[in-house]
Structure 1
């Protein structure tokens, strides 16, 4: 039985899928399986994946389209103790799996091992920017307060204990038509799982590709996606009959401020106005639940949120 199952949704990634597979084949840790789940590709992605045979590589075709649906389909076949999600245009450095599993051995009670990752622009892959996962060096509650509004790390910068991925924590397929679906996926897991941090920096995240779903250059789509994921997270709290913490309200205010600034930069005035209204609503909610407000939040309440929205 493999120690780790890698699940890769594949949709029109012909220029990248071979490099992604080769980065898995190059791992210094060899007890893995790779499930590549084609998601309706109309380019040569499927044919390219078939040209790289290895008994540890398995190819599937999902019956439903969408990255969440493809990942969930892969999960139904995965046999590993740990799950590693890896998008079809991203890469893993050779020691990534071994370092992540070493961190898992050092903390046997951990359900999620998160780590730093490196981002690079597709047109300039030699220049990489190191990114740190949310919650590193902070309390578990600070991480849980952040994930209601923000994805805590790149999708392949964490491995998840398979036993923690019960169907209720699968990818929310109803969000597949939006961007930012990982905000909703990680929220449920992080709020119920033990997270520890590994030393790997070997998750390489490619940005600004032609088919990239996480582009923020379209403020309408980016707002719709983030807002849909946040709404999903709100529903999770409502079902659990759990009230917001003041830190959750502050983070929700801040994410809508970011959406406002992005929309203003793109001169999307209607999106900016809606984002501003949501930011103000979360500021009000913050003062409904807080016991000892931060001075910065008091200032926002006194003078209004608009002076803080400049970009």
Structure 2
């Protein structure tokens, strides 16, 4: 479902409670700005659930400086974004969930605008707005919602949902995979929103992502490995012929990158261990000649700073 319906057809009074879930680890420098963007929301029926997983700085003190009963501070004895978000989902009492990282912010109208679509309109499970990316106080990128007619299938080809660009009904929420280092949000969106109707507001920038530094080569290779893992896990979901072809190409090109550049990851190895096509590709890559050809190809196709060695 796209967003070709006039906004005014939905606009109505919004009173429902929204739970904002903020995982944080050593966020003393950014958490205050993040919380401030929540407290200044024009929709005021909120609970702001801060999940601190093993911070050793002054994150707790920064959170407790806010004298607002809508904020709850929760300390976990384990580290992990997925663990923290899952705990937040468990604690949430709102009808809607808004995720937010501890170094990003929401536009003050973000929640109200989304609720004006969702309240009383059961057709939609979630609303996504546009996101901007900011580095050194300059906007370097915009990400608009992917609202083509095949968006329900495209969800299985790549993640087009920045984590805080979406307001989702709590009843639709699955849980995040706690054994993932990357792409846990994409997995969550697939489990939560596959086949569901989403309203896309591509004219409104409601989510702000602040970029602090670039991924290292190691992080990039692990991220691409989990990209392969997610698309592989959902490889049997029925798609159109065109998108099945795209998915197959992605699976095998991503596997090549994984096998060439990434350290082996136990959960991935377990999942692919009996796949005959994967086994065949891995066997071929044992040939130094084929391996060299593949590396030469990927050096041309991958960003220059991704695999520098």
TM-score by structure 1 length? 0.72
Per-residue deviation, 1:86: 0.3
In the alignment, structure 1 residue 231 sits paired with structure 2 residue 236: no
Per-residue deviation, 1:15: 0.9
For 2:205, the equivalent position in structure 1 comes to 201
For 2:42, the equivalent position in structure 1 comes to 28
Per-residue deviation, 1:193: 2.3
Per-residue deviation, 1:126: 3.7
Match of 1:152 among 147, 160, 172: 160
1:69-84 paired onto structure 2 within 5 Å: 69-84=83-98
The answer for unaligned runs of 5 or more in structure 1 is: 210-214, 283-303
Per-residue deviation, 1:248: 4.5
In the alignment, structure 1 residue 58 sits paired with structure 2 residue 44: no
Q: Structure 1 248/114 Cα, relative in aligned 2: closer, same or farther at 3 Å?
A: farther
In the alignment, structure 1 residue 271 sits paired with structure 2 residue 275: no
Aligned residues between the structures: 261
For 1:250, the equivalent position in structure 2 comes to 246
Distance of 1:62 and 1:179 partners within structure 2: 20
Distance of 1:307 and 1:187 partners within structure 2: 31
Distance of 1:62 and 1:30 partners within structure 2: 27
Match of 1:310 among 287, 291, 300: 300
User: More deviation in 180-189 or 46-55?
Assistant: 180-189
When the two chains are superposed, the root-mean-square deviation of aligned CA atoms in Å is: 3.5
Q: Deviations over 1:167-187 (max 9, x none)?
A: xx2111111xx1222221112
For 1:161, the equivalent position in structure 2 comes to 169
Q: Structure 1 252/37 Cα, relative in aligned 2: closer, same or farther at 3 Å?
A: farther
Q: Structure 1 234/69 Cα, relative in aligned 2: closer, same or farther at 3 Å?
A: same
Q: Structure 1 249/153 Cα, relative in aligned 2: closer, same or farther at 3 Å?
A: same
Per-residue deviation, 1:224: 2.5
TM-score by structure 2 length? 0.73
Could you say what secondary structure the match of 1:201 adopts?
Answer: strand
For 1:130, the equivalent position in structure 2 comes to 142
8 Å Cα contact 2:225-2:254 kept in structure 1:
no
Q: Deviations over 1:253-306 (max 9, x none)?
A: 35876898xx8xxxx99429x9xxx9xx79xxxxxxxxxxxxxxxxxxxxx9x8
Distance of 2:59 and 2:101 partners within structure 1: 13
